[in-house]
Structure 1
Amino acid sequence: MFKIGDKVSHPAFGVGDIKKIEEKNFLGKKQKYYILKLMVNEMTLMIPVNRAKEIGLRHIINPKTVPEVLSVLGDKVDNEMEENYKHRIKSQSEMVDSGDILKVAQVVKNYIHLDNRDKLSTTEKGLYERARKILESEISAACNIEKSKVKFMIKEAINKGRVGKAERKNH
C-alpha cells in the first residue's frame, strides 16, 4: 500500500505523487482511491487502492538502479526487433505498458536506432515520445534532478554505446 507523498510510477502515464487517499462512492459502492498527480502533464488520476497492483502502480526506482537503466541505452540493439511494422508496434507498446523501466529504456534505445536507419511512422514517434517521457520522469524523480540534466544523461549513455560499438569494430 502507498501513502500520501509517495512517488509512484504508473505504467501508462509515468511518475506521479500520491496527493490524497480518498473514499468515493461509485455505483453505490464505497471504495478507496489514490489521487495521483502526474509529473509529465499535471494530470490527476484516481486509482482504486484495491486495483493498484493489478494496474501496475509501483514505487519509483531507487537512485542506485539508474546506472543499470542508463546502461540499457548503450547496449547492443535488439536485432530481433520485428521488421513487420504492426508486430513491432505491438511488441514495443507491450514493453512500455509493462511498467518495467528497463524495458521502457530498451524501447527508447530501439526507436532511436530505428530512426537512424528509417524514419519512424507517426504512431512509432508517439510511442517513442511516450517511452522517453516516462524514462526521463522516472530518472528525474529517482535522482531528484532536472529533466534537462536527465536528457543529457540519456544522450551520453546512447553515445557511449555508439562509441563502444565503433571501437569494437576497429579491433
Structure 2
Amino acid sequence: MKKDSGDPFRIGDLVVYPAHGVCRIEAIEERELCGAKVRLFVMSLNPERMTLMVPTDRAASAGMRALSDPELAEAAMKLIGGRSRSKRGIWSRRAQEYEKKIRSGDLMQAAEVVRDLRGGTDDPGGSYSERQLYELALARVTQEVAAVLRTGESVVRSRIETAQASRAA
C-alpha cells in the first residue's frame, strides 16, 4: 500500500491512538471542515465498531504512534508478571494516575496499571472503579501485544493470567 504524500502512516497500518487503543487506518481523505480543507486519517476500532478521524497534521501531537516492537511487547508482558507497586495513598489520586497512564498510549505504562491492579478483579474488596481501570488497561495491553506478536487476544490474555498466577503463587 502506497504511502501518501508525507504522511507517517499508510492505509492498512495498525496504529495506537492513546484515547482508544489499537486502530486500523482505513483511508486517508481530504475533507472540508469549517471552510478549510483538511487531510484526515480515517481509522476503525473493531471492538467498538467506531470510526475516528484525525487530522494528519495533528496525529503526532495527539499521541498517535506506530505499534511497539516485539521486544517492547515482551518487556510489557514480563512487567505484568512482576511485583506490584504498593497501594498507598488516596484512591482518587491513584485512580487519576492510573487513568493518565492508560490514556498516555504508552504500552509499558498500561502494563504497570495491569500489574498494580491485578488483584482488583478477583479481590472482593476491590472497588468498581478499580476493576474498570484494570479492565481498560488489560484491554489496551492485550490489543497491542496481540497485534505486535500477530497472535490472538485470547492467547495474550492467557499469557497474562499465567504470569499473574505464577506471581501470586
Per the shorter chain, which TM-score range? 0.7 to 0.9
Counterpart among 83, 93, 98 of residue 89 in structure 2: 83
Gaps of 5+ in 1: 164-171
1:116 and 1:106 mapped to 2: Cα distance? 18
Instruction: Judging by fraction of residues, say which structure has more helix.
Output: 1
- Sort the Cα spacing of 1:82 and 1:56 in 2 relative to 1 into closer, same or farther, 3 A: farther
**Aligned pairs for 1:9-88 within 5 A:** 9-79=16-86, 81-88=87-94
Of the three residues 100, 120, 133, the one matched with 2:106 is 100
1:151 Cα shift? 0.9
1:134 aligns to what? 140
Q: Distance in 2 between matches of 1:43 and 1:68?
A: 30
Q: Cα RMSD over matched residues?
A: 1.6
Give, as a single letter, the amino acid of the residue that structure 1 aligns with 2:55: P
Aligned residue number for residue 3 of structure 2? none
Q: TM-score, normalised by structure 2?
A: 0.88
SS in 2 for 1:2: coil
TM-score normalised to the size of structure 1?
Answer: 0.87
1:56–1:82 Cα change, 3 Å: farther
Aligned residue pairs total: 162
| Residue of structure 1 aligned with 2:161, choices 155, 159, 162 | 155
